[in-house]
Amino acid sequence: MFDYQIAKHPHFYDACRAFATKQNLAEVAKRAGMNHQMLRNKLNPEQPHRLTCDDLLILTDVTEDSALIDGLLAQLKCLPAVPVNEAKVERLTTYVLQATAAVGAVAAESVSDERMTSTRRNNVIESINAGVRYLSLVGLTLQTRIQANPALASTVDALSGIGASLNIG
């Protein structure tokens, strides 16, 4: 049904490096109930220790940073994680503005002539993932809004049906 493939580019290891750079590992390890040096080693691809699934879940939960999960998904050639419990109708405008800002940051980087450092590359990937995440939240929020209003849902269904019948292909 699905054809997951493992990417040749080390997306997950890059995400581990970026996470280690961005986070205060001593504080994160303490909050996660882990040894600071062991966490540092697990985030270093040159060390034999590796993050477990439980480690990924705990680290994502205590930091609310989806970089490790996004890196893992990118390694499998999948889109970034979208926290569906975040989709709230009253935040629709905020999601649209945040998606626009993320796309704008990617656009600004695409026209830049500066040398692409690993930090800039990580920032671009983070902006792309944020854009996908916020656009997904926009879609989920709009879907929730439509389903909450039966008249609107019926109208959307009717217009979809008309549009499909007019499509001559």
Per-residue pLDDT at 150 exceeds 60: yes
Q: What region, left, alpha or beta, does residue 115 occupy, with left being phi > 0 and alpha being psi -120 to 50 degrees? A: beta
Which residue, among 31, 21, 45, 19, has the nearest Cα to 129 in the 3D structure?
A: 19
Question: Please, what is the Cα angle at 88 between 86 and 90, to 5 degrees?
Answer: 140
**What pLDDT is attached to residue 154?**
67
What does the mean pLDDT of the chain come to?
Answer: 87
Q: What is the pTM of this model?
A: 0.72
Q: Which residues contact 103 (CB under 8 A, 6 or more apart)?
A: 127, 131
Per-residue pLDDT at 122 exceeds 90: no
Question: Would you list the domain boundaries of the chain?
Answer: 11-75, 84-166
